[in-house]
């Protein structure tokens, strides 16, 4: 089990002489252990924490080493072993085109289960003046246990399965949010190999959504804001808009929490204000090297829009959109009910009603034709619905759409072939009979296989 711990204090001291900075990381607390084993020091653009700035030089190469991040040599410095350390010094050199202010970020590890990631250090500026800056680094507080207690009364929740409690059920996918003054606190939990996420959407379609991800990267979790334009990979936001971030990894469950302001400055174009109503999407999937892959299952989508800052609600949702439910219902009715009834009419009722007619045709034939026509119409509608939902062909749905195309083709061939059938007493009528029987049988078998594939 990996977890964030509550008590840790370190000091990051920066001595500036012209454009050379001496950075010292040391203990600043007498509580608990008086050492650390691992560390990572980075310098980032204070206005855009995704941008690495400058390069480091070593003072003690026996305990520290340079790293290459974002294809920049010496852009970070880390430990060489897990020996106990109380202080480490490095030199940071500012580039000629450095931004006006630089933020130092520090990761400290006291052991495999005790570590703190990207603790904000001091912000320095290049004024060419001799200065000394010292900052106490307070590590993020530990995550309290997520619980469903208070859902619908003190906070809004979206859960899958309905009514589950993340405190007791590792299979529970859980999202909660509650207004705190001018901001909203979010909690997200779920079992996943790589990431859990949720999105705010103005409709029930994926695209143009405000997304928040908790991405596992080895033994840490990155909490990111992103934006999805259409059915594309999420675009990670360059602005640091999330506050009080914390996370936990435990038994295959990813948990994270953060706070976000209800209103953001105009430059945050793809962030939604939280005092409006939105559909909530909740998804999870695999991640590799911090990059997310397509979600493992259909996202859980809230049944209706909810106001994020509104009264607490215990929300429900579904992983099957309405169009997909209609698709399944139409196909199920067509290939388990109407087609079976049509076959029974032709096979068993032909001898029972040899002379009875309806509208000039045999009763069994009229019923058979009506049922098969309904089958083709239901199949046609069911075939079109997924394309309407997806907006095109789905490349990641496995064999199911290909089998669907085969079934649709065979279903259309049957009535077309029947229009050109020879007379009952024609010498080549048997060819039509066998083709009609064979095409129908293959269509039923493939349709049955398609339904089995979909269920599995």
Residues linked to residue 57 through DSSP beta bridges, in sequence order: 91
Rg (CA), the chain: 31
Q: What are phi and psi of 67, to 5 degrees?
A: -120, 160
Contacts of 431 (CB under 8 A, 6+ apart): none
> What confidence score (pLDDT) does residue 30 get?
47
What is the SS3 assignment for 372? helix
Residues linked to residue 189 through DSSP beta bridges, in sequence order: 174, 255
Q: Which two tokens stand for residue 116?
A: 């703190």
Classify domain 9-138 by CATH number. Answer: 2.60.40.4060
The predicted model scores a pTM of: 0.56
Extents of the domains making up the chain: 9-138, 156-318, 322-455
Same fold flag, 9-138 and 156-318: yes
Number of H helices, E strands in the chain: 5, 28
Q: Which long-range contacts (CB under 8 A, 24 or more apart) does 429-432 make?
A: none
Question: 188 burial class (0-12, 13-18, 19+ CB within 10 angstroms)?
Answer: buried
Helix, strand, coil percentages for the chain (3-state, nearest 5):
20, 40, 35
Query: pLDDT tens per residue, the chain (456 residues)?
Result: 333 333 356 777 787 776 678 888 887 654 445 788 899 999 998 888 888 999 999 999 999 999 988 888 999 999 999 899 889 999 999 888 888 888 888 888 877 656 677 777 788 876 655 566 665 554 544 556 789 999 999 999 999 999 999 989 989 999 999 998 899 999 999 998 899 999 999 988 778 899 999 998 877 788 999 998 876 788 888 778 898 888 888 778 999 999 999 999 887 778 999 999 999 999 999 988 778 888 878 899 999 999 999 999 999 998 877 788 899 899 999 999 999 998 888 888 877 766 777 777 788 888 989 999 999 999 999 999 988 877 778 766 678 888 889 999 999 998 998 888 888 888 888 888 898 888 888 988 888 866 655 544
Q: Which two tokens stand for residue 326?
A: 């209609």
Quickly tell me which residue has 């080493």 as its tokens: 65
Q: Which two tokens stand for residue 282?
A: 């909740």
Classify domain 156-318 by CATH number. Answer: 2.60.40.1210
Q: Identify which of 276, 275, 282, 278 has the alpha carbon closest to the alpha carbon of residue 305.
A: 278
């Amino acid at each position: 089990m990996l977890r964030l711990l509550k008590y840790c204090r370190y000091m990051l001291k920066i001595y500036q002489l012209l454009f050379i900075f001496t950075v010292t990381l040391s203990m600043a607390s007498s509580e608990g252990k008086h050492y650390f084993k691992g560390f990572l020091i980075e310098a980032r653009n204070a206005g855009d924490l995704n941008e690495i700035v400058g390069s480091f030089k070593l003072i003690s190469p026996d305990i520290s080493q340079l790293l290459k991040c974002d294809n920049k040599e010496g852009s970070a410095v880390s430990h060489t072993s897990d020996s106990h350390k109380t202080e480490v010094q490095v030199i940071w050199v500012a580039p000629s085109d450095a931004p006006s202010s630089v933020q130092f970020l520090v990761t400290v590890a006291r052991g495999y289960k005790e570590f703190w990631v990207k603790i904000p250090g001091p912000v320095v500026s290049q004024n060419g003046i001799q200065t000394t800056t010292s900052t106490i680094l307070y590590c993020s507080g530990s995550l309290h246990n997520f619980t469903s207690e208070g859902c619908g009364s003190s906070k809004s929740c979206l859960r899958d399965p309905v009514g589950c409690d993340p405190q007791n059920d590792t299979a529970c996918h859980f999202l909660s949010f509650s207004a705190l003054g001018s901001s909203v606190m979010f909690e997200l939990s779920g079992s996943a190999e790589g990431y859990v996420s949720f999105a705010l959407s103005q409709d029930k379609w994926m695209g143009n959504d405000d997304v928040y991800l908790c991405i596992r990267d080895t033994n840490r979790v990155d909490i990111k804001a992103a934006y999805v334009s259409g059915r594309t990979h999420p675009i990670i936001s360059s602005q640091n808009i999330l506050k009080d971030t914390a996370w936990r990894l435990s038994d295959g469950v990813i948990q994270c929490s953060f706070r976000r302001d209800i209103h953001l400055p105009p430059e945050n174009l793809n962030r939604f204000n939280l005092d409006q109503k939105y559909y909530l999407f909740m998804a999870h999937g695999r991640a590799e090297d911090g990059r997310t892959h397509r979600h493992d299952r259909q996202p859980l989508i809230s049944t209706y829009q909810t106001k994020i800052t509104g009264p607490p609600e215990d929300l429900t949702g579904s992983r099957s959109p309405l169009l997909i439910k209609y698709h399944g219902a139409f196909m199920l009715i067509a290939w388990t009910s109407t087609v079976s009834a049509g076959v029974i009419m032709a096979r068993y009722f032909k001898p029972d009603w040899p002379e009875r007619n309806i509208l000039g045709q045999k009763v069994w034939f009229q019923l058979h034709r009506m049922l098969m026509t309904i089958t083709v119409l239901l199949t046609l509608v069911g075939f079109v619905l997924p394309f309407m939902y997806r907006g095109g062909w789905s490349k990641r749905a496995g064999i199911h759409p290909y089998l669907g195309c085969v079934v649709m083709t065979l279903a259309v061939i049957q009535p077309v072939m029947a229009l050109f059938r020879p007379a009952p007493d024609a010498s080549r009528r048997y060819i039509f009979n066998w083709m009609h029987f064979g095409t129908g049988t293959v269509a039923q078998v493939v349709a049955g296989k398609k339904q089995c594939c979909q269920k599995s």
